[in-house]
Amino acid sequence: MNKWSRRAFLTAGVLAGGGLIVGVAIRPGNRTPELAKLMEKSDEVLVNAWVKLSPDNRVTVIVPHVEMGQGAHTAMPMMLAEDMDVDWDTLSIEEAPAHEAYVTSDIARDFALPGKVPGIIDDTIKGAFIKISQFIDLQITGGSYSVRATGVRSMRVAGAAVRQLLIQTAAQTWNVPESQIRTDKSFLFHDRTGRSAPYVDFASQVVEQKASNTPELKPPSEFNIIGNNDIQRLDIPAKVDGSAQFGVDVIVPGMKYATIKAPAVFGSKIKKIDGSAALQKNGVHAVVNLGDAVAVISDGYWQAKKAIALVKIELEETGYEALNTAEMLDKFRADLDLAVLNGDEIEDYVSGDARNALSAASLTIDAEYSVPYLAHATMEPMNCTALIDGDTLRVWTGTQNPLGTRNALAKEFGFEPHKVSVHNQYLGGGFGRRATPDYPIQAVKIAQEMPGVPVKLIWSREEDTQHDHYRQAMVSRFKGGLDVNGAAIAWENQFHEKHEPVEAPDIPYAIPNKLIHYTDSPTHIPFGPWRSVDHSIHAFFTESFIDEMAVAAGDDPYEFRRRLLRDQPRIKKVLETAAKMADWGRDLPAGWGRGIALHSSFGTVVAQVAVVDVSGGDLKVDKVYCAADPGYAVSPDGFTAQMESGIIFGLTAALYGDITIENGAVKQSNFHDYPMVRMNTAPEIEVRIINSGEKLGGGGEPGTPPIAPAVANAVYAATNKRFRQLPIQL
CA dist 314 and 312 (Å) reads 7
581 lies in a domain?
yes
133 lies in a domain?
no
Spell out the residues 6+ positions from residue 520 whose beta carbon is closer than 8 angstroms to its own.
Answer: 335, 346, 496, 497
DSSP 484: T
520 by DSSP, 3-state: which? coil
88 lies in a domain?
yes
DSSP 285: E
Q: Are residues 428 and 353 in the same domain?
A: no
Spell out the residues 6+ positions from residue 54 whose beta carbon is closer than 8 angstroms to its own.
Answer: 43, 44, 45, 60, 200
Q: Are residues 454 and 336 in the same domain?
A: no
Its pTM stands at 0.95
Is residue 658 exposed (0-12), middle (13-18) or buried (19+ Cβ within 10 Å)?
buried
Average pLDDT, the chain: 94
CATH number at residue 56: 3.30.365.10
Domain's final residue, options 403, 423, 458: 458
54 lies in a domain?
yes
79 by DSSP, 3-state: which? helix
pLDDT at 42: 86
CA dist 545 and 562 (Å) reads 15
pLDDT in tens, 646-685: 999 999 999 999 999 999 999 999 999 999 999 999 999 9
Q: Are residues 479 and 353 in the same domain?
A: yes
Q: Are residues 692 and 712 in the same domain?
A: yes
Q: Are residues 356 and 224 in the same domain?
A: no
CA dist 659 and 652 (Å) reads 12
pLDDT at 26: 60
Q: Are residues 168 and 227 in the same domain?
A: yes
Q: Are residues 185 and 232 in the same domain?
A: yes
725 lies in a domain?
no
pLDDT at 17: 35
Do strands 684-689 and 187-190 pair parallel, antiparallel, or not at all (unpaired)?
Answer: unpaired
pLDDT at 23: 35
User: How long, in residues, is the chain?
Assistant: 730
Q: Are residues 569 and 635 in the same domain?
A: yes
Dump the DSSP string for 402-436. Answer: HHHHHHHHHHHHT--GGGEEEEE-B-S--TTGGGS
Helices of type H across 55-148: 72-84, 105-112, 122-135, 145
Q: Is there a contact between 612 and 620 (Cβ–Cβ < 8 Å)?
A: yes
Domain's final residue, options 191, 213, 241: 241
- Below-70 pLDDT ranges, the chain: 1-27, 120
CA dist 238 and 677 (Å) reads 25
pLDDT at 25: 43
Q: Are residues 552 and 683 in the same domain?
A: yes
Q: Are residues 290 and 344 in the same domain?
A: no
Q: How many CA atoms, within 13 angstroms, populate the side-chain half-sphere of residue 343? A: 0
Q: Are residues 194 and 339 in the same domain?
A: no
Q: Is there a contact between 402 and 98 (Cβ–Cβ < 8 Å)?
A: yes
Q: Are residues 38 and 153 in the same domain?
A: yes
Residue 311 lies in domain: 249-318+382-458
pLDDT at 210: 86
pLDDT at 5: 46
| Nearest by Cα to 627 from 659, 598, 602 | 598
726 lies in a domain?
no
Q: Is there a contact between 444 and 386 (Cβ–Cβ < 8 Å)?
A: yes
| Domains in the chain, number | 3
CA dist 446 and 290 (Å) reads 8
506 lies in a domain?
yes
CA dist 642 and 304 (Å) reads 37
With b for 16 or more beta-carbon neighbours within 10 A and e for fewer, the 47-79 pattern comes to bbbbbbbbeebbbbbbbbbbbbbbbbbbbbbbb
CA dist 125 and 372 (Å) reads 42
Domain's final residue, options 194, 223, 241: 241
- The conformational region for residue 377 under phi > 0 = left, psi -120 to 50 = alpha, else beta, is left
Do strands 59-63 and 91-95 pair parallel, antiparallel, or not at all (unpaired)?
Answer: parallel
116 lies in a domain?
no
